Amino acid sequence: MSAINKVVLAYSGGLDTSVIAKWLQETYDCEVVTFTADIGQGEEVEPARAKAKALGIKEIYIDDLREEYVRDFVYPMFRANTIYEGEYLLGTSIARPLIAKRLIEIANETGADAISHGATGKGNDQVRFELGAYALKPGIKVIAPWREWDLNSREKLMAYCEQHNIPVDFSSKKKKSPYSMDANLLHISYEGGNLEDPYWEAEEDMWRWSVSPEAAPDKPTYIELGYKNGDPVTLDGKELSPATMLETLNKLAGDNGIGRLDLVENRYVGMKSRGCYETPGGTILLRAHRAIESITLDREVAHLKDELMPRYAKLIYNGYWWSPERKMLQAAIDESQAFVNGVVRLKLYKGNVIVVGRKSENSLFDEAIATFEDDAGAYDQKDAEGFIKLNALRMRIAANKGRSQL
């Protein structure tokens, strides 16, 4: 008799998770609950219900998490101006803690004693899902079929489907991509296939969300983003919900060839991996947020945030969203955003996000002091002499003691 009575499966309705659902029933002789999350992947999620029913699943969860995803995960991350290894905007990484949270919530609601996912044993997602699950429910059992079974190829998965009469319908899907893709409201990623050669240039027809910069309009698009406490709340003066904001920015940026990235990154498990990403709206958000912070943040606060950001980014990439150290950093980051209010004006043009203006009632920019014209005594330039000498004191002492730098 299996020790597992009920398991909650993160279920997309595709080949892998359909096989997993049946495999769990057979291998563990347990009841399976499916959970399908709508986080803006751009595909219908409701068909997963019929597919789950065909597998004999009685408890089926299909949840629209788009607003929660952007409000509680994407926006807090962007308050830190977060990028991993100088480029990656963490579109896949930031979605995983939300899915882990909902898996545990459903496990609690249904009395399940295990959760399961379709992440492979080579990638980061297995770590992200499981670290989140253990942080939220320490005693939960996690079943990762890719680390247990021998169904390690598409051919074997298809044979399993045929053997067990699993209905996997691919006819409704658009043009089949040769790449492994993952999408949500923040980004879409492409891996595998020809991209496994890091010198291979991705084909133009691979990209789904953006035109090439060469094909973008010759006329720039101007937009204004309004910020409150570090989060974008208005677009051209109109209030938008978090999910609607990101969805709208994705369209505007994609139409202007913005947001493409080709990256070789370092996975947490130790290997290097090449991926291509489209993060159109996120690219705008990063540039705009830094622009509004440039006039509203104190210098040392801004510099400290920049020093903390790589550590914060690594925590998210490696799956530590629910860790105490990430929460501690988030508290500091959120505290810094109290006066990050105002409007940023941007020009979108052929793959570029260009800041052309910023204003705020909380601005620390003082034109009377910064001007190159007559400042009417607002700043005494003579003060600079003592300031410079004091800062040079230690170096002058060292030089006088024979520690010449020449």
The alpha carbon dihedral of 142, 143, 144, 147 has a sign of: positive
Minimum mean pLDDT range among 41-45, 128-132, 286-290? 41-45
Active-site entry in 177, 180, 323, 363: 180
Catalytic annotation on 306? Answer: no
Q: Does 249 fall in a domain?
A: yes
Task: Report whether pLDDT(172) > 60.
Answer: no
Residues 381 and 346 in one domain: no
Q: What is the reported pLDDT for 43? A: 85
Active-site entry in 125, 128, 273, 274: 125
Residues 123 and 246 in one domain: no
Minimum mean pLDDT range among 196-200, 243-247, 376-380? 376-380
45-95 confidence digits (pLDDT tens):
988 999 999 999 999 999 999 999 999 999 999 999 999 999 999 999 999
Residues 127 and 273 in one domain: no
7-30 confidence digits (pLDDT tens):
999 999 888 999 999 999 999 999
Give the Å distances, CA to CA, from 210 to 98, 224, 236, 272, 276.
26, 21, 22, 26, 13
Q: Which two tokens stand for residue 269?
A: 């498990």
Residues 283 and 393 in one domain: no
> Residue 2: pLDDT band by 50, 70, 90 thresholds?
low
Q: What is the reported pLDDT for 1? A: 41
pTM attached to this predicted model: 0.94
The total of other beta-carbon atoms located within 10 Å of residue 161's CB is: 16
Rounded (5°) CA angle 103-107-109: 115
3-state secondary structure the chain: CCCCCEEEEECCCCHHHHHHHHHHHHHHCCEEEEEEEECCCCCCCCHHHHHHHHCCCCEEEEEECHHHHHHHHHHHHHHCCCCECCCECCCCHHHHHHHHHHHHHHHHHHCCCEEECCCCCCCCHHHHHHHHHHHHCCCCEEECHHHCCCCCCHHHHHHHHHHCCCCCCCCCCCCCCCCEEEECCCCEEEECHHHHCCCCCCCHHHCCCCCCHHHCCCCCEEEEEEEECCEEEEECCEECCHHHHHHHHHHHHHHCCCCEEEEEEECCCCCEEEEEEECHHHHHHHHHHHHHHHHHCCHHHHHHHHHHHHHHHHHHHHCCCCCHHHHHHHHHHHHCCCCCCEEEEEEEECCEEEEEEEECCCCCCCHHHHCCCCCCCCCCCCHHHHHHHHHHHHHHHHHHCCCCCC
Residues 158 and 225 in one domain: no
Active-site entry in 12, 18, 93, 96: 96
Is 115 in contact with 7 (CB distance < 8 Å)? Answer: yes
Q: What is the reported pLDDT for 404? A: 83
In total, how many domains does the chain have?
A: 3
Active-site entry in 16, 189, 274, 287: 16
- Give the mean model confidence (pLDDT) for residues 203-213: 96
Q: What values do phi and psi take at 61, rounded to 5?
A: -110, 125
> Residue 153: pLDDT band by 50, 70, 90 thresholds?
confident
Catalytic annotation on 290? Answer: no
Q: Which two tokens stand for residue 232?
A: 């974008």
Q: Does 116 fall in a domain?
A: yes
Q: What is the reported pLDDT for 9? A: 98
Domain that holds residue 396: 375-400
Residues 202 and 100 in one domain: no
Q: What is the reported pLDDT for 264? A: 97
Minimum mean pLDDT range among 92-106, 255-269, 369-383? 369-383
- Give the mean model confidence (pLDDT) for residues 371-384: 89
B/e letters for 269-288, b = 16+ CB within 10 Å, e = fewer, are eeeebbbbbbbbbbbbbbbb
Q: Does 348 fall in a domain?
A: yes
Residues 156 and 214 in one domain: no
Catalytic annotation on 210? Answer: no
- Give the mean model confidence (pLDDT) for residues 153-177: 75
Q: What is the reported pLDDT for 376? A: 87
Of the chain, the end-to-end C-alpha distance in Å amounts to 79
Task: Report whether pLDDT(320) > 70.
Answer: yes
Residues 121 and 56 in one domain: yes
254-268 confidence digits (pLDDT tens):
999 999 999 999 999
CA gap 72, 243 in Å, rounded: 11
Task: Report whether pLDDT(377) > 90.
Answer: no
* Cα dihedral value 130, 132, 133, 134, nearest 10: 90
Closest CA to 60 of 4, 17, 8, 108: 8
Looking only at the bridges linking them, the beta strands covering 59-64 and 31-38 are parallel
**CATH number of the domain residue 268 falls in:** 3.90.1260.10
- Give the mean model confidence (pLDDT) for residues 90-118: 98
Q: What is the reported pLDDT for 173? A: 44
Residues 205 and 351 in one domain: yes
> What is the share, in percent, of the chain residues with pLDDT greater than 90?
86
- Give the mean model confidence (pLDDT) for residues 223-228: 98
Task: Report whether pLDDT(230) > 60.
Answer: yes
Q: What is the reported pLDDT for 397? A: 94
Mean pLDDT for all residues in the chain: 94
**CATH number of the domain residue 49 falls in:** 3.40.50.620
Q: What is the reported pLDDT for 107? A: 98
Residues 291 and 348 in one domain: yes
Residues 107 and 44 in one domain: yes
Catalytic annotation on 125? Answer: yes
Task: Report whether pLDDT(174) > 80.
Answer: no
